[in-house]
Amino acid sequence: MTDNLVHKALFTIPEATYSTALATVKPLPVQRKITGNKQVDAYLWVLEVIKTNEPAHLEAAEEALKKLKITPKEAQKKYSDYLMKSGAHAFQIAFGTMSMDNPQGYIDRAKEQIKKASQVRAAFASYEAALELTEPEKLMLVGELAGIYEPFYYWNETEQAEGCMRGDRVNETEKLRKATAKGFAEQLPEPHTLSDVVREFLYWDWLYQMRNVADKELNPGGYGDERYYIYDREDYLEGKLATIQPISRQEAIDVCKWVLEEERFHDHELTDSIILNLVGECVDA
C-alpha cells in the first residue's frame, strides 16, 4: 500500500509564493481622554497602538513606553481605581486591567501576530483570500452538503422564533448533520495510508491557524468563524487512524509520536484503539 497521490496533492500545505509586502499602513488609534490623568491615558493609548499589530507603529510605541513617567504597575492601579469609581463591576475591572502591567507581553504578542500575518500573505496573497474556500472545501460543500452547514439549517419554527436551540436538540441535529455528511468520504479522495491521514490533519490545522490570523487582521476583537464541516471530517479521520494498518514499523512510530503530542487525542476513548492499531502488524511485515 502506498500514499494516495490524489489525496496527497489535495492536502499538501502549499508553498509560500506571494509577496509579504503590506499595501497599506493601519491608522493610529485616536488619542482619547479617558481617565483625565495624562500619563495613564497616554499609557492606554500606547497599548492600543501596540495592539494594532502594525509593523510601522511598533518600534515607535516601544520608544514611547520608555518616555512615559508612570510605571506600568502604577498605570494599572490608577486605571483600576478609575473603573471602580465609574461603577464598573469587579469582573469588568479585572478583565479591563488584565496584564496591563506587562507591556512586553503586548509587544511579544504583536510581534508574533505580525510574523504570522506575513505568513498568511505569503501563502494566500491577502487575508480575504485565506477565508475563501480551498479546493478540498469546494469538493466537500456541494448540493445538500452545502446546505446542512448553513446557519439555522436544522432550526424549527419555535427555535427560530426564540433565537435559540437548546439541550438535546443540539445533539440531535449534530448527529443528523454527521449522518448526512458521512465524513465526506464520497466527496474527497480516500486516504490510503496513515501518513495520508496525518497529512490531512496537518493541512486542516494549518488552514485553521492561517484563518485565525487573517480574521484577527480583518476583524480585531472578533470571534472568528466555526467551520463544522472540518470538525466532522476530522472525526471521520480519527476513525481511519484506528483502522488503516501502518505500512512500516517506522510509519507506526512516526504516527504514534504525533498522536501522543496531539492534545485532541488526550483522554480520548479512540486513542486506545489507535495505539493498538499502531502496535499491531504492519503491511510490509
- Please say if the pLDDT value at position 1 is more than 80: no
**Confidence category of residue 285, pLDDT binned at 50, 70, 90:** low
Tens digit of pLDDT for each residue in 182-217?
999 999 999 999 999 999 999 999 999 999 999 999
Given 102, 124, 146, the domain boundary residue is 124
Task: Take residue 12 and report the three cell numbers written for it.
Answer: 499538501
Q: Are residues 205 and 224 in the same domain?
A: yes
Q: Which of 124, 154, 173 is the last residue of a domain?
A: 124
Q: Which helix (H) or strand (E) holds 88?
A: none
What percent of the chain has a predicted confidence (pLDDT) above 70? 97
| Least confident interval from 153-157, 234-238, 255-259 | 153-157
Q: Single out the residue in 85, 101, 124 at which a domain terminates.
A: 124
- Which residues are within 8 A (CB) of 120 and not within 5 positions of it... i.e. 6 or more apart? 127, 130, 210, 213, 214, 217
**Are 114 and 160 found together in one domain?**
no
Write out pLDDT tens, residues 114-126: 999 999 999 999 9
Selection from 3, 6, 5, 1 nearest residue 187 by Cα = 6
User: Does residue 21 belong to any structural domain of this protein?
Assistant: no
Question: How many folded domains does the chain comprise?
Answer: 2
Which percentage of the chain shows pLDDT scores above 90? 76
Could you tell me the pTM of the whole model?
0.86
| Helix pair angle (38-51, 55-67), 10° resolution | 160
Residue 45, domain extent:
38-124
Instruction: Kindly report, residue by residue over 26-59, the tens digit of the pLDDT.
Output: 999 999 999 999 999 999 999 999 999 999 999 9
If pLDDT is split at 50, 70 and 90, which confidence band does 284 have? low
Q: How far is CA 128 from CA 142, 210, 223, 231, in A?
A: 22, 11, 16, 22
Please provide the average confidence, as pLDDT, over all residues in the chain: 92
Contact 7, 187 (CB under 8 A): no
Q: Are residues 100 and 149 in the same domain?
A: no
183 and 275 together in one domain: yes
- Residue-level pLDDT at 60: 93
Residue 25, domain member (yes or no) = no
